[in-house]
């Protein structure tokens, strides 16, 4: 087995896979090291399985609304064990698919944990006993190991789950407590509620989704509460006691209550454990790998991309960083990642999606008198017969001085699909007049973006 390569990639997640395949397409000899399933967080325990759970969970509201359209469901039952098993089957299929992609791209896969020996050598360690399986030598080394969920340092923390654990459960219990206010916490709160689980969400501060458009996050709070999610602000868990399936949770306010499980959704951090970065002399800043605008570390032949750099922790960003790395170092281009107008979404129920400046950010950076906010609030046509569900909110943030659209935000059905297309307009520098001059497609939710006046 070959041991010397033009490029060694540590981590076969979205960014690492993209970099490895692209570099190989330019003729580079590439090795990729992975201690888990190929596909990384997004494919194995993140975006993909989560979105499948969202799809399953959201069916409940559709079934409940269907009676107003003439359908009758006499015996509606939810079996989360079947759903979780099918999700795991799909994850396994995707894992095998990505392994085949690597093989077709002539990228050599080494299964084991990567550990630096020096700035040009990576040891591959056995996943179970830690024995050294291989020593690889690379002209360049790319670190793309991603991140992992944080677990707080409190009494009984090991009794709680992280988001990684949720996809490994045989079935979901009757009652779950979620700790956190970010997108992972809100998404799982909606998923679990839609699957018939009694959900309590503990939020340390006074709002969910801090940093998102406040009007939209407030609307989501109202929608989740109306559905039956118990959101408790100003509370955090201080200790856990009991046994798996039967927990006693104590909060910082001194309250105690029982739950069948607790999910810590309190953020993520770069996954640096076991890499032994110090043996290669790699500089770490605040528990993340410090890189320049091209992903280069303080060691000239070692690079890092994706969540391990803790910049914009999104799968498409990591993929683009990986491809651009390969373009610059093995192709004939100086392509750089464009971090402007990166769209993002929360796959809650209803969805939130945004691109560009929020209203709060625009006011902070430009002043309230220099922006204009256009909004449309309405009940979508699909909800007109059942007369249930939350209203859609669509917003445009516009620079008064040059009429340029600074931000585009939405809460409602298919928000992520709509905002993906809107991001193209903002990337091209669209003005409000461009939106105004675009013909509407009726009847749709998205048409509101071109009919706001």
Give the domains, in start order, of the chain with CATH numbers.
4-148+269-331 (3.50.50.60), 151-266 (3.50.50.60), 343-449 (3.30.390.30)
Q: How many CB atoms lie within 10 A of CB 174?
A: 11
Looking at 26-177, list the stretches that DSSP marks H as alpha helix, in order from N- to C-terminal side.
40-45, 47-66, 80-104, 163-166
CA distances from 72 to 60, 169, 233, 445 (A): 13, 32, 38, 27
Active site members: 442
For the chain, percent of residues with pLDDT exceeding 90 = 94
Residue 348 or 60, more confident: 348
pLDDT of 418 strictly over 90: yes
pLDDT for 331: 96
| Mean pLDDT score, 41-64 | 95
CA gap 15, 93 in Å, rounded: 19
Each residue of 140-186: pLDDT tens digit? 999 999 999 999 999 999 999 999 999 999 999 999 999 999 999 99
Confidence band, pLDDT 50/70/90 cuts, at residue 74: confident
Instruction: Give the number of residues written for the chain.
Output: 453
Judge whether residue 432 has pLDDT over 80. yes
Whether residue 86 is predicted with pLDDT greater than 70 in this model: the reply is yes
Q: What is the model's pLDDT at position 1?
A: 63
**pLDDT value at 364 more than 90:** yes
355: pLDDT confidence band, cut at 50, 70 and 90?
very high
Mean pLDDT of all residues in 370-388: 94
**Digit-coded pLDDT (tens) for 317-337:** 999 999 999 999 999 888 899
- Residue pair 43/94 in contact (Cβ under 8 Å)? The answer is yes
pLDDT of residue 77: 87
For the chain, helix, strand, coil in percent to 5 are 35, 30, 35
Query: What per-residue confidence (pLDDT) applies to 411?
Result: 99
For 61, 62, 273, the CA distances from 67, given in Å and listed in that order, are 11, 9, 52
d(CA 99, CA 246): 39
Half-sphere exposure for 172 (CA within 13 Å, toward CB): 28
- pLDDT tens string 3-32: 999 999 999 999 999 999 999 999 999 999
- The predicted pLDDT at position 332 comes to 85
Q: What is the mean pLDDT of residues 210-232?
A: 97
Who wins on pLDDT, 73 or 36? 36
Q: Report CA torsion sign: 250, 251, 253, 255.
A: negative
* Predicted confidence band of residue 389 (pLDDT cuts 50, 70, 90): confident
Tens digits of residue pLDDT in 179-205: 999 999 999 999 999 999 999 999 999
Give the span between the Cα atoms of 121 and 135, in whole angstroms. 7
Residue percentage of the chain with pLDDT more than 70: 100
With a cut of 90, say whether residue 209 has pLDDT above it: yes
Half-sphere exposure for 427 (CA within 13 Å, toward CB): 12
Q: What was the pLDDT predicted at 60? A: 87
Q: What is the chain's mean pLDDT, rounded?
A: 96
**Paired residues of 44 in beta bridges:** none
| Spatial separation of the C-alpha atoms in residues 151 and 160, rounded to whole Å | 9
Contact assessment for residue 99 and residue 21, using Cβ atoms and an 8 Å cutoff? no
């Amino acid at each position: 087995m070959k041991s010397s390569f033009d490029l060694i990639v540590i981590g076969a997640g979205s960014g690492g896979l993209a970099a490895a395949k692209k570099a190989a397409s330019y003729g580079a000899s590439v090795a990729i090291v992975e201690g888990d399933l190929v596909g990384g967080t997004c494919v194995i325990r993140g975006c993909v399985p989560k979105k499948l759970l969202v799809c399953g969970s959201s069916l409940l509201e559709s079934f409940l609304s269907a009676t107003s359209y003439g359908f009758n469901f006499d015996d509606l039952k939810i079996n989360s064990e079947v759903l979780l098993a099918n999700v795991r089957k799909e994850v396994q299929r995707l894992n095998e698919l990505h392994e085949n992609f690597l093989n077709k791209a002539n990228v050599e896969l080494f299964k084991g944990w990567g550990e630096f020996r020096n700035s040009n050598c990576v040891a591959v360690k056995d996943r179970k006993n830690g024995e050294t399986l291989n020593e690889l030598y690379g002209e360049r080394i790319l670190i793309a190991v991603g991140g992992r969920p944080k677990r707080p340092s409190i009494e009984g923390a090991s009794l709680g789950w992280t988001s990684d654990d949720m996809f490994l459960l045989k079935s979901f219990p009757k009652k779950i407590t979620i700790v956190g206010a970010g997108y992972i916490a809100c998404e799982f709160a909606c998923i679990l509620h839609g699957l018939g689980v009694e959900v309590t969400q503990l939020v340390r501060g006074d709002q969910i989704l801090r940093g998102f458009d406040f009007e939209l996050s407030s609307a989501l709070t109202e929608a989740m509460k109306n559905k039956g999610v118990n959101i408790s602000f100003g509370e955090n868990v201080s200790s856990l006691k009991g046994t798996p399936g039967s927990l006693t949770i104590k909060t910082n306010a001194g309250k105690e209550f029982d739950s069948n499980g607790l999910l810590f959704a309190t953020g993520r951090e770069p996954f640096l454990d076991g890499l032994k970065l110090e043996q290669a002399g790699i500089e770490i800043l605040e528990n993340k790998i410090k890189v320049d605008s091209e992903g280069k570390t303080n060691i000239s032949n070692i690079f890092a991309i994706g969540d391990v750099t803790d910049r914009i922790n999104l799968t498409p960003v990591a993929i683009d960083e990986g491809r651009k790395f390969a373009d610059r170092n093995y192709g004939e281009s100086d392509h750089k990642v464009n971090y402007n107008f990166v769209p993002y979404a929360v796959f809650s129920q209803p969805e939130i999606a945004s691109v560009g400046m929020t209203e709060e950010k625009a006011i902070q950076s430009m002043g309230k008198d220099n922006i204009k906010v256009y909004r449309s609030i309405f009940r979508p046509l699909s909800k007109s017969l059942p007369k249930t569900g939350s209203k859609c909110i669509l917003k445009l943030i516009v620079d008064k001085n040059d009429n340029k659209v600074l931000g585009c935000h939405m809460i409602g059905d298919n928000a992520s699909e709509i905002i993906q297309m809107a991001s193209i307009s903002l990337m091209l520098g669209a003005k409000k007049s461009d939106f105004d001059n675009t013909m509407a497609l009726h009847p749709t939710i998205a048409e509101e973006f071109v009919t706001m006046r």
